[in-house]
Amino acid sequence: MEYQIIPLPREEWKGTPIPMKYTTECYYDLEMVTDENGFRVQMIKKPFDKPVTHSPEEYDFPDALYQDHWEKAEAYGIVAEKDGKKELLACIEICPEEWSNRLMVTEMWVADHLHRQGLGTRLMNVAKEKAIQQGRRAIILETQSCNVGAIAFYRSQGFELIGYDACCYTNIDVERHEIRFDFGYFLHRQDGR
């Protein structure tokens, strides 16, 4: 079946929950070493003792389309009609970060039963095309150090680790093995901009 990616207008889709649930058996552990020569940081993949599941219910502010702080966001997705109602099957939301001339992927999700069909790549291509059309220098996004499936996907799409935040979600992110990882996809490297 060929799934069509369509615009998801703000007035129709604002507040639509994104059921961002995943189970993982591994995480990237943050190891920081400080010595007289400076700092060294390593991200080392390690197994959990038992699989860990993260779901929207555990967060105070679960993911949803067109959150108020993403004022200039645009969303695209795959929608199915079921019993006269629209059902979101996959989506990507992007928002310009004007001051740095980057495009941020604020949300990306594909329903579990549609994984490994190329839909994530097609959605990410929408973001890449929009970034080129808008003359952006990079695309940025964030994910968690324990979302190893998402990390593998972003790396396969040409994204590189550009930073981390060891206390983004809680003050015990390192202990919880859920550190914010920032990834970037560079559109203009040749001229240095």
The answer to whether residue 192 sits within a structural domain is: no
Q: State which residues form the domain around 51.
A: 6-186
pTM of the model as a whole: 0.91
Complete edge-to-edge strand list for the sheet that includes strand 180-186: 6-7, 74-82, 85-97, 102-110, 138-144, 180-186, 160-165
- In the prediction, which pLDDT does 189 show? 61
Count of structural domains, the chain: 1
pLDDT in tens, 49-90: 999 998 877 776 778 999 999 999 999 999 999 898 999 999
Q: Which CATH number characterizes residue 67's domain?
A: 3.40.630.30
Residue 1 inside a domain? The answer is no
Percentage of the residues of the chain whose pLDDT score is greater than 70: 96
Q: Is the pLDDT of residue 192 over 60?
A: no
Region 146-174: mean pLDDT is 94
> In this structure, how many other beta carbons lie within 10 angstroms of the beta carbon of residue 25?
12
Q: How confident is the model at residue 170 (pLDDT cuts 50, 70, 90)?
A: confident
Give backbone dihedrals phi and psi of 16, rounded to 5 degrees, phi first. Answer: -65, 120
∠ Cα 48 54 59 (to 5°): 135
